[in-house]
A and B are shown apart, each in its own frame.
Chain A
Amino acid sequence: MKDRIFKIISKYNGDSSRLMDILHDIQDTEGYIAGDIMGLLADLLSLSAAQVEETVSFYHFYSDKPRAKVNIYLNDSVTANMFGRAEVLKAFEDACGISEGEVSEDGQLGLFSTSCIGMNDQEPAALINDKVFTRLTPYRVSQIIADLKSGKSLDEITVESCGDGKNALPEVNATVYNNIRRKGALLNNDYPFYSVVRDMLPNISSEEIIDIVSESNIRGRGGAGFPTGLKWKFGSKARGERRFIICNADEGEPGTFKDRVLLTEYPEMVFEGMAVAGYAVGADLGLLYLRYEYKYLLNYLNGILDNMRKNNYLGTNVAGIEDFNFDIRIQLGAGAYICGEESALIESLEGKRGEPRDKPPFPVEKGYLNLPTIVNNVETLATVVKIVKNGADWFNKLGNKDSVGTKVLSISGDCRFPGIYEVEWGMTISEVLAMCGATEVQAIQVGGPSGALIGKKDFGRELSYSDLPTGGSMIVFNNSRNLLREVVLNFTNFFIEESCGSCSTCRNMPYVLREKLLKILNGRGVKQDVEDILQWAKVLNVSRCGLGQTAANPIVSSIRNFRHLYDALVQKEVDYDSGFDLESSVLESCKVVGRQPIFHHH
């Protein structure tokens, strides 16, 4: 075992900042990351044992205990539950002979739950040993497990039901569907890949590139909407002996899957965008942080990069430009929503727990390895390529005054045509709903759980940075859905699960609010509970990052926009109820000691 560990560490030159890769490799060869391996790693990488252990324990997909030979991670997102997750889970449990969270006695099968895996338009979905299986039904589950037990490999099983487009390439071989429903300026296949790097970069200065991007008024497509040109300008002027470009492909906001499709069908443009950014700010290395759930794309994407190197679109003197050296490395995440936050992502890239940093300094000044770093979203980088190709004026004609250009939306939930839609900014929610074939709509979640849950009275509002901003996630709920129990509770569970635990506000308050919500759902709530939620949620504003600051949004926005649902649940006749139930709270201890509960009712 030691020899294998030595080999892995020397593969990464003993660089402790590559701990994520080292752990992935160890997990691949050893099956899990045992305590003695962590000690060995600490010695060899000059880290403390605690530093290694805290990284291992932080990420969902690292394990310090033996896992099964085949590990099934069934997605637990809202849409998975809406479209039959419970039946699929039961089918897995029956077929595997184990309950959720268990490993079978022979060590062959393990069944676990996981947060949104970016397949919201084809749920229920599961990761089985890093392979994605979508649109699961109890029948399909029984077939998959039977095939596995009969000795078929996962590749053999997936090839029978490959998805569309490049999902069917042998190096991808995924049962994933792109579901591209509407193309616009970005997706319309009119761009000859690499033509900006090949034909334009040699004839244009880095300042001119930044000017074009600034004049295009494009803002970050990840959700926060920071002006990209300004970010690049800051980055190009920040002091440091090296600079880095990071492409944030840690698409973890439940309901978002557009980056998955962009990376499947248009990775050339994403990588080219990174090279353009590298040229503009003077960076020599690009890092694409790919969420673990998209590991099935890793070989395919590395193949694209190899191809780019062969054609000198990456490497030294890229496209013949003297002294423009730029290469790209893909960093695989390990399952943590918080790593979508740029400073947490950088921490993770450095091999640490994905805990957000205090800001300032911002990454443009002190980012990866404390050097100037540009972090952009997948969609932003792909779009920039077209902006440079077609000019800022072309882009400014798209969208509306406040938000120019197009936005790729990930639409899922109760609609006839879930999938990817590229629309110009300024589209109203009513138009979005009509476009995706949604009827009897009760509510739509705009911008994922950290965004807003809105109802009919707001369907006239527009998608734009000043009205309804969105990183792209739109989940539709029809009148049959129990919004509070099916949606708000699920989203709140998600935030509790994904908190990094650093700020006490985010570590505690979402839990407290969930208790309140459950109390209300269980018929024990009073009017004051609803007021308490609104008041108490405010403390989350002091959290360090966006996750903490928005962790109460599902509950708070549902109170603001669907107050009647709460009013109908709270007790009218009492103004105080602690929610305490003596009968149920003594059940466990009576069972343990072996006695019947007795109650004296006074």
Chain B
Amino acid sequence: MEKKIIATTSLAGCFGCHMSILDIDERILDLIELVEFNKSPVDDIKTFTKPVDIGIVEGGCCNSENVEVLRSFRKNCKILISLGECAIMGGLPALRNGIPIEECLREAYLEGPTVGLNTTKILPNDDELPMLLDKVYPCHEVVKVDYYLPGCPPRADLIWDALVALITGNELALPYEVVKFD
């Protein structure tokens, strides 16, 4: 069987979902038999070098760069997966949703208890910086997403089972214990 190509990225996330990918432990050796990684922090490939079968996205979109990366994933990946709470619902970063952006920036850079060093009282405005979005968006509110793997982070077994199911074309077993959340 030809190896499937995989790409991964972390947008407005904490890399916890990527840690959970690594948590498949020694099965990563089996995985390497099945897939080849393209653009991903796992192998540090920065740009897409070939068409990808499965794109895995951690984190939602909080700035313009997130949007551009996500769009490039949608463009280059046949299947796109939202991995974890932040990609699916916005997660912790989305706590700022509902608070005016001006208030967020003022708290973070001008008035918060830890901003003593910002003596020039400047809000980050360099053209090189990504632009903040009006709110944090889950991935599917920006591009079409094919599958969702929930969790914070999703369990390693769930990631493994889902990838194996996708690669082998078999149906993913979803017993009650996997889909219950309380």
Contacts and interface: CB of A to CB of B under 8 A. Distances in A.
Contact of B102 (A584, A592, A596): A592
B141 interface: yes
B76 to A, nearest CB: 11
B64 A594 contact: no
Most buried by B among A576, A592, A595, A599: A592
A598 B142 CA distance: 19
Most buried by A among B64, B102, B137, B141: B64
Contact of B105 (A592, A597, A602): A592
B127 interface: yes
Nearest to B143: A578
Given A578-B140, A582-B64, A588 B134 contact: yes
A600 interface: yes
A525 B67 CA distance: 20
A224 B64 CA distance: 51
Contacts of A589: 101, 105, 131-134
A497 B60 CA distance: 29
B47 to A, nearest CB: 12
A594 B64 CA distance: 16
Nearest to B138: A578
B114 interface: no
B123 interface: yes
Contacts of A586: 64, 131-134
A594 B123 CA distance: 8
B124 interface: yes
A602 B75 CA distance: 11
Interface in B41-90: 64, 67-68, 71-72
A579 B143 CA distance: 9
B120 interface: no
Q: How large is the interface on A (under 10, 10 to 19, 20 to 34, 35 or more residues)?
A: 20 to 34
B147 to A, nearest CB: 15
A593 B134 contact: no
Given A586-B64, A589-B133, A595 B127 contact: yes
A592 B123 contact: yes
Contacts of B64: 582, 586, 599
Contacts of B126: 595
Most buried by A among B72, B133, B143: B133
A47 interface: no
Contacts of A597: 131
Nearest to A597: B131
Nearest to A577: B144
Contacts of B124: 593
A384 B1 CA distance: 81
B144 A576 contact: yes
Given A576-B144, A580-B141, A593 B67 contact: no
Contact of A582 (B67, B125, B127): B67
A31 B38 CA distance: 67
A602 B125 contact: no
Interface in A556-599: 576, 578-580, 582, 584-590, 592-599
B133 A585 contact: yes
Contacts of B102: 588, 592
A586 B102 CA distance: 12
B142 A594 contact: no
A588 B123 CA distance: 14
A578 B142 contact: yes
Contacts of B68: 600, 602
A580 B142 contact: yes
A389 B152 CA distance: 69
Given A580-B137, A585-B133, A593 B125 contact: yes
A580 B132 CA distance: 14
B125 A578 contact: no
A593 B105 contact: yes
Nearest to B68: A600
Nearest to B137: A580
A267 B38 CA distance: 79
Given A582-B67, A588-B134, A589-B134, A595 B140 contact: no
A230 B67 CA distance: 61
Interface string B93-128: 000000001100100000000000000000111110
B119 to A, nearest CB: 17
A597 B144 CA distance: 25
A588 B144 CA distance: 25
Contacts of A602: 68, 71-72
Contacts of A576: 144
A584 B134 CA distance: 9
B170 to A, nearest CB: 26
B102 to A, nearest CB: 5
A590 B127 CA distance: 10
A182 to B, nearest CB: 50
Given A578-B141, A588-B101, A593-B105, A598 B134 contact: no
Given A592-B123, A593-B123, A593-B124, A578 B131 contact: no
A42 B124 CA distance: 47
Contacts of A596: 127
Nearest to A596: B127
Contacts of A588: 101-102, 134
Contacts of B142: 578, 580
A496 to B, nearest CB: 15
16 contacts: A576-B144, A578-B140, A578-B142, A578-B144, A580-B141, A585-B135, A588-B101, A588-B102, A589-B105, A592-B101, A592-B102, A592-B105, A593-B125, A595-B126, A595-B131, A602-B71
Q: Which 8 A-B pairs have the closest CB atoms?
A: A589-B132, A586-B131, A593-B125, A593-B123, A595-B125, A576-B144, A592-B102, A580-B142
Interface of B: 64, 67-68, 71-72, 101-102, 105, 123-127, 131-135, 137, 140-144
Given A593-B123, A602-B72, 14 more contacts: A578-B143, A578-B144, A579-B141, A580-B142, A586-B132, A587-B134, A588-B101, A588-B134, A589-B131, A592-B101, A594-B125, A595-B131, A598-B131, A602-B68
Interface of A: 576, 578-580, 582, 584-590, 592-600, 602
